[in-house]
């Protein structure tokens, strides 16, 4: 029941906002729908905590600790982003960058995007995962190109082609998976692609086929995660889309894509052993983290900067999943959570910062603390958090990842440390002049909704100091599941 | 003024990372208890740093607001015109200088404690190097104390270096409250570090699977074992305050309390002006002298016959030039070298994707 | 039982307070003997204190409250230190309040307060003294930390009480590193307490002053407290040194009158020798130029580290 | 493999040959697409590819007796042979791009690379073909080759429209792979995929207009401004 609500609310929202999206109260409707989704998601969480994993809808939907935690996170960040986007998009309209019709598209697609992500998370069918991921791509392509400027069209085009091709490979991987499954599970129509069935029979899946399937799935969904060298769409799309979209792309879509990768990894490990998939994930992760860290140094655009930072963090998370084992998986899940929260809050502040300064170029953004202390301090705190300063949660997860890496694969620690160090310097030296210094930029026409920023950062802080036992147990269950 | 505080932030971040690094070392050698200790020290220091650093930033903000003067060389004597800010900033200064019974000391003490256990690491070579690290740490902390004395002394003590400063007004209530709660935090963690330790213990429990040994009593902390080391902020504060009170009473009772206000003595030199005090640069002179090797200094000293004597010193950090700049340049070069990866051409991006796929396929074959 | 412990604690503090000027007087006495001078009586410091307490305090016009509180703070910190250091009896209630490292911090507090007070009036000599004092302080701290590090390696604890206990229960633990540590400690002691060769406590030449320059503006009862505090500091340092290197005789585990009496007499004897030794060092060395002080302290640091390395190397050999 | 499939035995020799012929046709069309300069011709080739896909799917459906696959074949016919080419034709007509030519990277080299790819995918598909139980198992390698060739085509193209055609051709290869390896995916998923594809083409159609409006051309080299400067 809760599950239908979770999926139904955003779907309903898509249609309602497709009609009402241009109205003055559309942002409020958007927030309302997101709130309803979050409430439904919390009910679902409560139910899962109480009753354990859930399998419904002819086994087509499956909820376990791993995905329910991502569902909750997705619904939550979806809500806060909706709250943030209310004044943000009004300011954009005020500045003449958007019309009411575009806003209708925006609101409707926002909800469709939420729906697609939630569907990808909740479905038990690997085929449906693919369909949902493709739908998520399509809806975000429209969102990225919302401004219809040259740059945004270019970004959207690249995003579409690269992710489209990537996802086509994932489809081939899915076909191979189906092929492998059919041999062991028999041709049972719908059930052969069900993850639960595959998981139960993973030891019997043909290793050669699974190896190939995993490569295709990894490259396919890995493109969406933003793993180097498949990441090229990511900075463009993050920089050119509207800020709320950057926030959800970075905070949610990457997670969802990684979720798909991990689900596939579990199957692959069961069939061909942990060596190959683990090594691949570690290699991709390290490469992404190191490359992105170096790219950070070259950035001039604030949202592009944090786009690269997302690649870096996704790299770290992927690396941690590649390490495997309860501690690394726990850390990776924690890092997923805190990265979503922190990165989305950074995008919130970065969005308002560039609105205030009238440019996304960091050279033009100065003295934020002076103009608007909340934006300035939000940006500083967010950056410190994302850089892994204690006591924020990012530190906790990175610390765990580092210690595990040092114990199990000591040769990886230098790379990780280089990535972290270079990224630290890169971001720090860019953020500081933006926050301090002098500026005479005018005030914004609508007061920004920065409450989400501080709520997110507070949560990240709490997660860094102390993970509530219930949550930790939940993470641990998910980590065990991933193996 | 703020620059000084910013450098001090770097120092403190360094301390925090020292703790984290130690903790990782311990954790990698399965010495979980010590890893927890070092990590707790780092975490508490991070908390403390945020407390006293924001407090000092606020205090300098108040000073800036009241005097419109950013340069350390033009302040002075504000303790008389801004007693509230001065009193509260004193707490922050003492805390950041790492003095008991305030919070900065607690975390530094814990950090030093964790250094003490490094000989248990199974690497003989590291064992011999790490004590030097501890010494460097002690040097850093003491140097920080030096600098903070300079900071406080030059701003709040002495005579005003500009006549306008005498009219500086004290902070208003709001500012005072803002400063006061931070000061209260500094004192609270200083005398009751258990609070912070318990909180940090939860995080360390999460991160290295070990909390610090339970405290023997609420009055003091003993991270490893009470026989080995313990510290009690309460006793520090209480005994010092009691002694002060008792001494004060005794002095009042036994001696007379007569006071005569006179001009400063200064060894009988009556023509002193506020310009004869040490400036911030002057106060730092011994350090420049001693660490001269680390800096590149250009000095213009006045000759005895100069009618318009001029003193100018320009300092450049040699490490900055010799160590960081090449690293930064190398990173930049590397970043430039890999920038072709994001060359803007979609076909190239597709090619990357294609080659990755083929490479991985070859790998699994 | 605890009540009695507190009585002992109190007694020890009082003892320290009352003995401290005597110790300074004794050193002055020894020095005078060694330099073939006629010495003032032992009790000279007490007389001076009494005189100072009876004088009118002359306070600079612009002295702030910080300036007037500092003497009390100094005295308070030194009394606390005296309470922590096991001079006669170990395991007193306050001993657990701080280990050796915390003691360094305590001394640092006193130093910072004194430096701040010296800057308060805004005279040239005051700030000069403050900056020199801070310089000596930040150089001395790593050195003394290394000494304690050494002690920790030997005794497995940084709590002074614990060190004394370990030492007296296993008197066989005499390591070559102790010698190094002792030398380093003595050097730090000289530097921290404004003795020759770093500073000259009896100088009247302003340009060479460190400690004296800081207290130039003080007079009467304030000066008295400061002087008392500095003699207490010297006494405390001496007691730390004794506890570290010559702990024999200190009454461990419980305070009985007879063992305490033995401990007291042992303390007096040890202090007498120690004072004479200090006087000897001071007599045979000349005061260093101020910028030679870093070299002196660096030497102390080096010796302490050498001791540490010696211990680690020898220890490693012993294990092998 | 031990579980020698029943339906392979039932299959007439002729049908297998026919299937192989169709697969060869697929591959041939892929190569043709790789070397075609004219946009309109490309669309036609794409429609032909769809037609072959439709034929082979029907054939398999007939031989294996799976009604589900008939639906799939019908879907292919409607979507890939009729709707998408029609949309594309209309699009380029309205964009005035039907006579567009495009410069390609050295065609012989591209062909050579394509050849290598085919060999590579045969090698890759070998183990899978051995495991497969379908009548179409020999064609898996070809399906993979079609996918990779379409990928190559996307890399070499410089116009937005042709790149999209490459993308769609890749989708054809995927469908072909699905039918040849496993007799097609479950129906729901096929429907979902088809829907996604249709929406994608619509969105792309809108994109073409917007791109032309902004850049005055559908040439992709205008869209290289977002990069590391």
B349 touches chain A (CB under 8 A): yes
Predicted pLDDT at D4: 40
Q: Which of D66, D189, D222 to mutate to test the interface with A (most CBs of A within 10 A)?
A: D189
Report whether pLDDT(C320) > 70: no
Residue A398 banded pLDDT, cuts 50, 70, 90: very high
D171 touches chain A (CB under 8 A): yes
Give the separation between CA A126 and CA A177, rounded to whole angstroms.
9
Comparing A217 with B236, which gets the higher pLDDT? A217
D6 touches chain A (CB under 8 A): no
Comparing B299 with B253, which gets the higher pLDDT? B253
Predicted pLDDT at B14: 87
- If DSSP codes are grouped into helix, strand and coil, which group holds residue C57? strand
The CA angle B290-B296-B302, to the nearest 5 degrees, is 80
Beta carbons of D207 and A156 less than 8 Å apart: yes
DSSP code for D78: I
Report whether pLDDT(C306) > 60: yes
DSSP code for A60: T
Closest Cα in chain B, distance from residue D34 (Å) = 14
Domain assignment present for residue B25? The answer is: yes
To the nearest whole percent, how much of chain B has pLDDT over 70?
90
Greatest Cα pair distance, chain D, in angstroms, is 63
Angle of helix B32-67 relative to helix B103-116, nearest 10 degrees?
150
Cβ-based neighbour number of residue D130 at 10 Å: 10
Q: D223 and A290 in contact (C-beta within 8 Å)?
A: no
Of C53, C132, C221, the CB nearest to B286: C132
A144 touches chain B (CB under 8 A): no
Give the separation between CA A195 and CA A122, rounded to whole angstroms.
11
Beta carbons of A295 and B20 less than 8 Å apart: no
Residue D44 banded pLDDT, cuts 50, 70, 90: very high
Predicted pLDDT at C174: 63
Which chain B residues contact residue D167 at CB under 8 A? none
DSSP code for C207: G
A245 touches chain B (CB under 8 A): no
Nearest to C306 by CA among B130, B136, B114, B128: B128
| Cβ burial, residue C67 (10 Å; 0-12/13-18/19+) | buried
Report whether pLDDT(C276) > 60: yes
Beta carbons of A160 and D128 less than 8 Å apart: no
Which chain B residues contact residue A280 at CB under 8 A? 360, 363
- Which residue shows structure tokens 């699977």? B209
Average pLDDT over residues A254-267: 94
Condensed to tens digits (0 to 9), the pLDDT of residues D53-74 reads: 999 889 888 887 778 888 888 9
Predicted pLDDT at D2: 37
With a CB cutoff of 8 Å and minimum separation 6, the contacts of A277 are A214, A218, A265, A268, A269, A322
Tokens standing for C199?
Answer: 């500073």
For residue B297, list its beta bridge partners. Answer: B315
> Looking at A108-112, A280-284, B181-185, D12-16, which range is the least confident one?
D12-16
Beta carbons of D225 and B344 less than 8 Å apart: yes
Q: Which of B360, B361, B362, B363 to mutate to test the interface with A (most CBs of A within 10 A)?
A: B360
Closest Cα in chain D, distance from residue A450 (Å) = 30
Q: Which long-range contacts (CB under 8 A, 24 or more apart) does B294-298 make?
A: B294/B318, B294/B319, B296/B321
Report whether pLDDT(D92) > 70: yes
| Cβ burial, residue A20 (10 Å; 0-12/13-18/19+) | middle
Domain assignment of residue D108, given as a range = 12-226
Q: How many domains does chain D have?
A: 1
Chains C, B in contact, 3 or more Cβ pairs below 8 Å: yes
Cβ-based neighbour number of residue A71 at 10 Å: 27
Domain assignment present for residue D89? The answer is: yes
Cβ-based neighbour number of residue A143 at 10 Å: 24
HSE (side-chain half, CA atoms, 13 Å) at B113: 34
- pTM, 2 dp: 0.85
Q: Closest-CA residue in chain D for B351? A: D155
Residue B217 banded pLDDT, cuts 50, 70, 90: low
Domain positions in chain C? 3-315
- Which residue shows structure tokens 């009988």? B268
Give the separation between CA C303 and CA C144, rounded to whole angstroms.
11
Predicted pLDDT at C35: 84
Average pLDDT over residues C53-73: 85
B335 touches chain A (CB under 8 A): yes
Predicted pLDDT at A422: 92
| Cβ burial, residue B194 (10 Å; 0-12/13-18/19+) | middle
Report whether pLDDT(A423) > 90: yes
Tokens standing for B54?
Answer: 């924001």
Residue D133 to residues A81, B170, D87, D130, Cα–Cα distance (Å): 50, 88, 37, 8
Average pLDDT over residues B203-232: 70
D227 touches chain B (CB under 8 A): yes
Q: CA A411, A413, A416, A420 torsion: positive or negative?
A: negative
Domain assignment present for residue D206? The answer is: yes
**Range with the largest mean pLDDT of A256-260, A395-399, B276-280, C47-51:** A256-260
Cβ-based neighbour number of residue C290 at 10 Å: 19
To the nearest whole percent, how much of chain C has pLDDT over 70?
92
Predicted pLDDT at A318: 96
Predicted pLDDT at A33: 94
Residue A120 banded pLDDT, cuts 50, 70, 90: very high
Nearest to D185 by CA among A176, A264, A259, A167: A176
Average pLDDT over residues D187-198: 81
| Cβ burial, residue B49 (10 Å; 0-12/13-18/19+) | buried
Subunits with 3+ Cβ pairs within 8 Å of D are A, B
Domain assignment of residue B331, given as a range = 319-364
Average pLDDT over residues C264-289: 85
A297 touches chain B (CB under 8 A): yes
Report whether pLDDT(B154) > 70: yes
- Over chain B, what HEC string results? CHHHHHHHHHHHHHHHHHHHHHHHHHHHCCCHHHHHHHHHHHHHHHHHHHHHHHHHHHHHHHHHHHHCCCCHHHCCCHHHHCHHHHHHHHHHHHHHCCCCCCHHHHHHHHHHHHHHCHHHCCCHHHHHHHHHHHHHHHHHHHHHHHHHHHHHHHHHCCCCCCHHHHHCCCCCHHHHHHHHHHHHHHHHHHHCHHHHHHHHHHHHHHHHCCCCCCCCECCEECCCCCCCCCECHHHHHHHHHHHHHHHHHHHHHHCCCCEEEECCCHHHCCCCCHHHCCCHHHHCHHHHHHCHHHEEEEEECCCCCCCCCCCEEEEEEHHHHHHHHHHHHHHHHHHHHHHHHHCCCHHHHHHHHHHHHHHHHHHHC
Average pLDDT over residues B309-330: 76
Q: H-helix or E-strand containing A371?
A: helix A368-371
Distance of CA D134 to the CA centre of its chain: 21
Predicted pLDDT at A218: 95
To the nearest whole percent, how much of chain A has pLDDT over 90?
57
Peptide bond connecting A391 to the previous residue in cis, omega within 30 degrees of 0: yes
Comparing D3 with C312, which gets the higher pLDDT? C312
Give the separation between CA A148 and CA D211, rounded to whole angstroms.
9
Give the separation between CA A102 and CA D196, rounded to whole angstroms.
22
> What mean pLDDT is reported for chain C?
82
Cβ-based neighbour number of residue B272 at 10 Å: 17
Residue A365 to residues A243, A290, C307, Cα–Cα distance (Å): 16, 27, 56
Residue B7 banded pLDDT, cuts 50, 70, 90: confident
Beta carbons of B350 and A229 less than 8 Å apart: no
**Range with the largest mean pLDDT of C58-67, C165-174, C202-211, D86-95:** D86-95
Condensed to tens digits (0 to 9), the pLDDT of residues A135-171 reads: 999 999 999 999 989 899 999 999 999 999 999 999 9
Give the separation between CA B293 and CA B277, rounded to whole angstroms.
27
Residue A75 banded pLDDT, cuts 50, 70, 90: very high
Tokens standing for A274?
Answer: 């942990």
Which chain B residues contact residue C217 at CB under 8 A? 264-266
Report whether pLDDT(A72) > 80: yes
Q: How many domains does chain B have?
A: 2
Of A128, A175, A209, the CB nearest to D174: A175
Condensed to tens digits (0 to 9), the pLDDT of residues B345-365 reads: 888 899 999 999 999 988 887
> What mean pLDDT is reported for chain A?
90
Predicted pLDDT at B108: 87
Q: Closest-CA residue in chain D for A133? A: D196
Tokens standing for B245?
Answer: 């009170």
Condensed to tens digits (0 to 9), the pLDDT of residues B21-74 reads: 888 888 888 888 888 888 888 888 888 888 888 888 888 888 887 877 777 777
B20 touches chain A (CB under 8 A): yes
Residue A152 to residues A227, A240, C42, C130, Cα–Cα distance (Å): 22, 5, 90, 62
Q: Closest-CA residue in chain B for A328? A: B207
Q: Closest-CA residue in chain D for B357? A: D148
Peptide bond connecting D127 to the previous residue in cis, omega within 30 degrees of 0: no
With a CB cutoff of 8 Å and minimum separation 6, the contacts of A404 are A320, A323, A325, A327, A328, A331
- Specify whether B330 is located in the same domain as B223: no
Give the separation between CA B341 and CA A228, rounded to whole angstroms.
10
Q: Closest-CA residue in chain A for D68? A: A189
Pairing of strands B295-300, C57-60: unpaired
The CA R_g of chain B, rounded to the nearest whole Å, is: 26
Average pLDDT over residues A163-192: 84
Predicted pLDDT at A351: 92
Which chain B residues contact residue C12 at CB under 8 A? none
B323 touches chain A (CB under 8 A): no
Domain assignment present for residue D1? The answer is: no
Report whether pLDDT(A253) > 90: yes
For residue B345, list its beta bridge partners. Answer: none
Give the separation between CA A142 and CA D199, rounded to whole angstroms.
11
Beta carbons of B349 and A162 less than 8 Å apart: yes
Comparing D80 with A186, which gets the higher pLDDT? D80
Predicted pLDDT at D1: 35
Residue A262 banded pLDDT, cuts 50, 70, 90: very high
Domain assignment present for residue D158? The answer is: yes
D209 touches chain A (CB under 8 A): no
Average pLDDT over residues B258-270: 75
Beta carbons of D227 and B342 less than 8 Å apart: yes
Question: Could you report the predicted ipTM of this complex, rounded to two decimals?
Answer: 0.83
Predicted pLDDT at D6: 45
Residue A374 banded pLDDT, cuts 50, 70, 90: confident
D170 touches chain A (CB under 8 A): yes
Predicted pLDDT at B278: 74
- Specify whether B78 is located in the same domain as B151: yes
Per residue in D87-101, is it b (16+ CB within 10 Å) or e — as a string?
bbbebbeebebeebe
């Amino acid at each position: 029941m809760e599950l239908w609500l979770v999926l139904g609310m955003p779907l309903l929202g898509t249609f309602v906002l497709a009609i009402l999206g241009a109205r003055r109260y559309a942002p409020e409707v958007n927030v309302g729908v997101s709130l309803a989704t979050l409430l439904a998601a919390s009910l679902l969480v409560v139910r899962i905590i109480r009753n354990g994993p859930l399998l419904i809808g002819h086994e087509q939907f499956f909820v376990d600790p791993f995905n329910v935690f991502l569902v909750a996170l997705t619904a939550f960040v979806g809500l806060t982003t909706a709250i943030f986007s209310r004044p943000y998009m009004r300011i954009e309209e005020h500045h003449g960058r958007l019309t009411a019709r575009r806003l209708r598209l925006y609101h409707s697609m926002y909800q469709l995007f939420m729906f697609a992500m939630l569907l990808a998370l909740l479905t038990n069918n690997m085929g449906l995962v693919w369909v949902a991921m493709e739908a998520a791509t399509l809806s975000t392509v429209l969102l990225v190109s919302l401004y219809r400027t040259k740059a945004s069209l270019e970004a959207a085009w690249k995003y579409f082609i690269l992710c489209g091709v990537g996802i086509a490979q994932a489809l081939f991987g899915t076909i191979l998976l189906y092929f492998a499954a059919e041999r062991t599970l028999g041709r049972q129509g719908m059930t052969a692609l069900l993850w639960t069935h595959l998981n139960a029979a993973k030891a019997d899946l043909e290793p050669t086929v699974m190896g190939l399937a995993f490569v295709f799935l990894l490259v396919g969904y890995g493109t969406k995660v933003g793993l180097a060298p498949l990441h090229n769409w990511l900075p463009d799309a993050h920089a050119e889309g509207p800020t709320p979209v950057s926030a959800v792309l970075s905070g949610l879509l990457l997670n969802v894509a990684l979720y798909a990768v991990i689900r596939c990894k579990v199957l692959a490990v069961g069939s061909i052993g942990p060596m190959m998939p683990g090594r691949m994930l570690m290699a991709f992760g390290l490469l992404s983290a190191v490359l992105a860290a170096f790219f950070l140094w070259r950035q001039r655009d604030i949202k592009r900067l944090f786009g690269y930072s997302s690649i870096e963090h996704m790299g770290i998370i992927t690396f941690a999943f590649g390490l495997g084992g309860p501690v690394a998986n726990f850390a990776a899940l924690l890092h997923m959570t805190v990265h979503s929260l922190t990165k989305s809050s950074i995008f919130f502040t970065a969005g308002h910062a560039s609105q205030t300064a009238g440019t996304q170029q960091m050279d033009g953004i100065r003295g934020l603390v002076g103009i608007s202390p909340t934006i300035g301090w939000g940006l500083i705190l967010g950056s410190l958090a994302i850089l892994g300063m204690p006591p924020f949660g990012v530190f906790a997860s990175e610390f765990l990842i580092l210690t595990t890496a040092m114990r199990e694969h000591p040769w990886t620690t230098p790379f990780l440390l280089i990535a972290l160090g270079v990224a630290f310097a890169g971001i720090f030296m860019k953020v500081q002049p933006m926050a301090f210094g002098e500026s005479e930029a005018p005030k914004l026409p609508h007061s920004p909704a920065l409450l989400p920023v501080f709520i997110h950062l507070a949560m990240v802080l709490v997660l860094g100091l102390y993970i509530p036992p219930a949550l930790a147990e939940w993470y641990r269950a998910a980590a065990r599941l991933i193996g | 003024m703020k620059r000084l505080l910013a450098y001090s932030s770097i120092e403190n971040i360094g301390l925090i990372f020292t703790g984290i690094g130690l903790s990782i070392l311990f954790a990698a050698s399965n010495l979980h208890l010590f890893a927890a200790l070092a990590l707790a020290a780092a975490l508490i220091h991070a908390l403390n740093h945020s407390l006293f650093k924001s407090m000092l930033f606020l205090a300098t903000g108040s000073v800036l607001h009241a005097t419109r003067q950013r340069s350390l060389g033009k302040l002075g004597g504000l303790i008389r015109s801004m007693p509230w800010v001065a009193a509260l900033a004193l707490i922050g200064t003492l805390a950041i200088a790492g003095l008991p019974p305030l919070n900065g000391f607690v975390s530094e003490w814990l950090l030093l404690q964790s250094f003490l256990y490094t000989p248990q690491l199974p690497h003989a070579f590291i064992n011999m190097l790490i004590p030097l690290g501890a010494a460097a740490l002690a040097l850093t902390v003491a140097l920080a104390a030096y600098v903070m004395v300079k900071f406080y002394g030059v701003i709040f003590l002495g005579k005003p270096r500009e006549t306008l400063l005498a009219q500086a007004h004290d902070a208003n209530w709001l500012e005072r409250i803002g400063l006061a709660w931070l000061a209260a935090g500094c004192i609270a963690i200083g005398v009751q570090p258990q609070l912070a330790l318990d909180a940090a213990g939860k995080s360390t429990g999460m991160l290295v699977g070990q909390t610090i040994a339970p405290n023997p009593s609420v009055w003091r902390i003993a991270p490893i074992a009470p026989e080995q080391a313990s510290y009690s902020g309460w006793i520090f504060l209480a005994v010092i305050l009691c002694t002060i009170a008792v001494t004060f009473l005794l002095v009042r009772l036994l001696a007379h309390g007569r006071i005569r206000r006179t001009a400063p003595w200064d060894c009988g030199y009556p023509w002193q002006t506020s310009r004869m005090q040490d400036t911030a640069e002057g106060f730092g002179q011994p350090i420049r002298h001693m660490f001269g090797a680390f800096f590149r200094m250009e000095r213009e000293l006045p000759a005895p016959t100069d009618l318009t004597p001029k003193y100018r010193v320009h300092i450049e950090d040699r490490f900055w030039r010799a160590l960081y700049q090449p690293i930064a340049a190398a990173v930049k070069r590397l970043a430039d070298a890999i920038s072709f990866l994001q060359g803007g051409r979609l076909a190239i991006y597709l090619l990357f994707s294609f080659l990755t796929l083929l490479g991985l396929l070859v790998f699994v074959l | 039982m605890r009540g009695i412990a507190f009585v002992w604690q109190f007694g020890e503090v009082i003892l320290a307070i009352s003995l401290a000027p005597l110790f300074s007087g004794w050193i002055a006495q020894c020095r005078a003997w060694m330099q073939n001078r006629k010495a003032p009586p032992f009790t000279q410091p007490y007389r001076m204190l009494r005189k100072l307490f009876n004088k009118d305090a002359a306070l600079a016009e612009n002295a702030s409250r910080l300036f007037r509180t500092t003497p009390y703070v100094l005295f308070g910190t030194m009394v606390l230190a005296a309470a922590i250091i096991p001079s006669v009896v170990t395991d007193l209630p306050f001993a657990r309040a701080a280990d050796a490292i915390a003691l360094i911090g305590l001394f640092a507090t006193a130093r910072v307060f004194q430096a701040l007070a010296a800057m308060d009036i805004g005279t040239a000599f005051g700030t000069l003294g403050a900056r020199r004092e801070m310089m000596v302080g930040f150089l001395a701290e790593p050195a003394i930390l290394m000494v304690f590090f050494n002690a920790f390696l030997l005794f497995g604890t940084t709590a002074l009480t614990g060190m004394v206990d370990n030492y007296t229960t296993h008197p066989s633990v005499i390591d070559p590193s102790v010698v190094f540590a002792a030398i380093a400690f003595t050097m730090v002691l000289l530097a921290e307490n404004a003795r020759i060769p770093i500073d000259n406590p009896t100088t009247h030449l302003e340009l060479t002053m460190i400690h004296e320059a800081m207290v130039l503006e003080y007079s009467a009862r304030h000066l008295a407290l400061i002087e008392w505090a500095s003699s207490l500091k010297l006494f405390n340092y001496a007691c730390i040194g004794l506890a570290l290197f010559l702990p024999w005789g200190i009454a461990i585990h419980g305070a009985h009158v007879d063992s305490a009496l033995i401990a007291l007499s042992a303390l007096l004897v040890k202090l007498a020798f120690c004072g004479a030794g200090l006087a000897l060092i001071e007599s045979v060395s000349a005061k260093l130029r101020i910028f030679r002080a870093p070299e002196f302290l660096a030497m102390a640091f080096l010796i302490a580290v050498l001791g540490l390395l010696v211990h680690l190397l020898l220890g490693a050999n012993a294990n092998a | 493999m031990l579980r020698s499939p029943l339906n392979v035995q039932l299959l007439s020799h002729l049908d297998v040959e026919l299937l192989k012929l169709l697969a060869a046709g697929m591959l041939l069309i892929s190569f043709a697409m790789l070397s075609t300069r004219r946009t309109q011709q490309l669309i036609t080739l794409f429609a032909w590819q769809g037609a072959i896909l439709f034929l082979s799917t029907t054939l398999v459906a007939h031989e294996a007796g799976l009604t589900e696959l008939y639906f799939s074949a019908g879907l292919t016919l409607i979507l890939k042979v009729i709707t998408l080419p029609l949309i594309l034709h209309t699009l380029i007509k309205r964009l005035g791009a039907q006579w567009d030519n495009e410069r390609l990277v050295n065609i012989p080299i591209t062909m050579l690379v394509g050849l290598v790819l085919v060999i590579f995918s045969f090698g890759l598909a070998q183990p899978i073909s051995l495991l497969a139980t379908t009548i179409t198992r020999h064609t898996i390698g070809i399906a993979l080759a079609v996918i990779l060739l379409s990928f190559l085509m996307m890399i070499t193209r410089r116009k937005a429209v042709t790149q999209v055609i490459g993308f769609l051709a890749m989708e054809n290869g995927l469908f072909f792979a699905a039918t040849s390896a496993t007799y097609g995916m479950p129906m729901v998923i096929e429907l979902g995929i088809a829907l996604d594809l249709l929406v994608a083409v619509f969105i792309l159609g809108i994109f073409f207009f917007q791109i032309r409006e902004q850049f005055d051309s559908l040439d992709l080299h205008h869209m290289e401004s977002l990069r590391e400067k």
